[in-house]
């Protein structure tokens, strides 16, 4: 049992005004923060299973960060096939394992598939994920769409520096700093880490108090239960897709978006990662001349970037028998559409593997 004197002595430490004591406290705090950053960026935290870290069944930031750092810490023995993008990329395939199995059934190589897509993942978030993928033979499916091509620069910067995903990358940090997002002592990931830990601890305390399970399973397709769109919502989406608003916003933002895309491809090429710029699904019921003209604007620029960096641009949507009923809205697939789209993607990737355009070879065994 602690004495009152011990308590008073301990609390007195917080009332110190000595400069030396304050400097020592600041140094200790800095060491603790550096230790926390190392614990996260090294992937050491992934020794604890994912289900203990999730704050909810739909916690995409923790899900993506955990799997990315786990892959970096323990590179797979097979070639890696990773999908990155927002919620429409997440809903486009059942999961990475299912996509890899479909490629094998079609006569393609045995690869490790992993979805690293998640709700609200901007191109900046995808950049942070790609910059932390392992050096094993890796193909990255980088989802692109009209929505992802006209994000505001400040929105991209929220994730590119690691503030939300807790993923560290030197070139990305420098890119963010050039656009005014500087971090104290270079600890860009700590704000995101602090928010995530605070949220998890708060939820954990609630679970303990109410007797709920302390673990959660991640729901990869939380939108499957969404109701059909109302007539008013359909009209609004059609106007957005084919009207002038999206087209004008794209023209204002595309240069800054492509600057980040150029950095992504340059970094990937330097690290030996193969990137496929993958046009995500879009509902044919909402597409007319206006959308085709707008999409052509950014696709032409993306194809130029792909040629510059020896990447691949892939759009097979027009070849698929997708109908309005296969979509939740403009870009999110229902289970019926997901099966069709994943099968089409598997066919395209199998052809690319067979041609040697992307690598399906196992990593070389380490020298004895």
pLDDT tens digits along 177-194: 777 665 544 545 655 666
To which residue do tokens 């109302």 refer?
230
Asked if the model's pLDDT at residue 126 lies above 70, the reply is yes
What does the longest C-alpha to C-alpha distance in the chain come to? Answer: 80
With a pLDDT cut of 70, the percent of the chain lying above it is 80
pLDDT at residue 185, rounded to an integer: 42
How far apart CA 117 and CA 63 sit, in angstroms, is 9
Closest CA to 261 of 86, 165, 130: 130
How far apart CA 124 and CA 130 sit, in angstroms, is 10
Mean per-residue pLDDT over the chain, rounded: 85
User: Which pLDDT band holds residue 34 (cuts at 50, 70, 90)?
Assistant: low
Q: At what angle do helices 244-270 and 123-130 cross, to 10 degrees?
A: 10
- Cβ(40)–Cβ(192) below 8 Å: no
User: Which pLDDT band holds residue 157 (cuts at 50, 70, 90)?
Assistant: confident
Higher pLDDT: 73 or 17? It is 73
- Cβ(136)–Cβ(75) below 8 Å: yes
- List C-alpha distances in Å: 303 to 75, 230, 265, 296: 30, 36, 12, 10
Higher pLDDT: 203 or 6? It is 203
pLDDT at residue 182, rounded to an integer: 57
pLDDT at residue 11, rounded to an integer: 47
**Nearest 5 degrees, angle CA 49-CA 186-CA 256?**
95
pLDDT at residue 334, rounded to an integer: 98
Asked if the model's pLDDT at residue 25 lies above 70, the reply is no
Asked if the model's pLDDT at residue 12 lies above 60, the reply is no
How far apart CA 212 and CA 246 sit, in angstroms, is 45
Backbone angles phi, psi at 219, to 5 degrees: -95, 105
Please tell me what DSSP assigns to residue 285.
G
Phi-psi sector, 333: left (phi>0), alpha (psi -120 to 50), beta: beta
Token pair, residue 42, equals 């090294």
276 three-state secondary structure: strand
- Cβ(328)–Cβ(234) below 8 Å: no
Question: What pTM value is reported for the model?
Answer: 0.86
Asked if the model's pLDDT at residue 48 lies above 60, the reply is yes
pLDDT at residue 199, rounded to an integer: 79
Sorted by sequence, the CB contacts under 8 Å of residue 311 that are 6+ apart come out as 265, 268, 269, 274, 275, 276, 277, 305
Closest CA to 139 of 301, 264, 317, 272: 272
Token pair, residue 190, equals 């700590």
pLDDT at residue 197, rounded to an integer: 73
Q: What own/partner pairs with CB < 8 Å and gap ≥ 24 does 247-251 have?
A: 247/290, 247/293, 247/294, 247/297, 249/150, 250/146, 250/149, 250/150, 250/294, 250/297, 250/298, 251/297
How far apart CA 192 and CA 157 sit, in angstroms, is 13
Q: SS3 string of 93-139? A: CCCHHHHHHHHHHCCCCCCEEEECCCCCCCHHHHHHHHCCCCCCCEE
Of these ranges, 95-109, 187-201, 352-366, the one predicted with the greatest mean pLDDT is 95-109
pLDDT at residue 251, rounded to an integer: 95
Asked if the model's pLDDT at residue 139 lies above 50, the reply is yes
């Amino acid at each position: 049992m602690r004495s009152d004197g011990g308590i008073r002595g301990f609390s007195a430490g917080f009332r110190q005004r000595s400069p030396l004591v304050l400097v020592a406290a600041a140094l200790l705090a800095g060491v603790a923060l550096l230790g926390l950053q190392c614990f996260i960026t090294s992937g050491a935290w992934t020794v604890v299973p994912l289900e203990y870290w999730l704050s909810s069944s739909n916690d995409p930031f923790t899900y993506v960060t955990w799997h990315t750092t786990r892959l970096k810490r323990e590179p797979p023995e097979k070639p890696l096939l990773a999908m990155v993008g927002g919620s429409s990329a997440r809903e486009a395939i059942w999961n990475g394992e299912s996509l890899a199995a479909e490629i094998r059934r079609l006569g393609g190589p045995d690869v490790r598939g992993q979805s690293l897509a998640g709700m609200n993942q901007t191109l900046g978030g995808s950049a942070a994920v790609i910059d932390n993928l392992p050096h094993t033979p890796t193909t990255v499916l980088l989802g692109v769409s009209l929505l992802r091509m006209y994000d505001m620069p400040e929105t991209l910067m929220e994730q590119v520096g690691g503030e939300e995903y807790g993923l560290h990358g030197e070139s990305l940090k420098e890119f963010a700093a050039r656009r005014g997002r500087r971090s104290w002592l270079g600890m860009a990931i700590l704000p995101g880490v602090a928010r995530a830990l605070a949220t998890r601890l708060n939820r954990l305390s609630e679970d303990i108090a109410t007797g709920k399970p302390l673990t959660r399973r991640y729901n990869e397709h939380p939108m499957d239960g969404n109701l059909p769109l109302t007539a008013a919502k359909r009209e609004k989406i059609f106007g957005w897709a084919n009207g002038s608003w999206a087209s004008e916003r794209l023209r204002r933002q595309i240069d800054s978006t492509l600057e980040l895309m150029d950095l992504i491809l340059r970094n990937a090429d330097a690290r030996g990662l193969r990137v496929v710029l993958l046009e995500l699904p879009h509902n044919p019921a909402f597409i007319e001349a206006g959308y085709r003209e707008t999409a052509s604007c950014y696709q032409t620029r993306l194809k130029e970037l792909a040629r510059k960096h020896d990447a691949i641009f892939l759009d097979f949507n027009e070849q698929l028998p997708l109908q309005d009923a296969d979509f939740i809205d403009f870009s999110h697939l229902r289970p019926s559409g997901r099966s069709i789209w994943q099968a089409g993607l598997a066919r395209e990737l199998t052809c690319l593997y067979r041609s040697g355009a992307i690598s399906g070879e196992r990593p070389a065994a380490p020298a004895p």
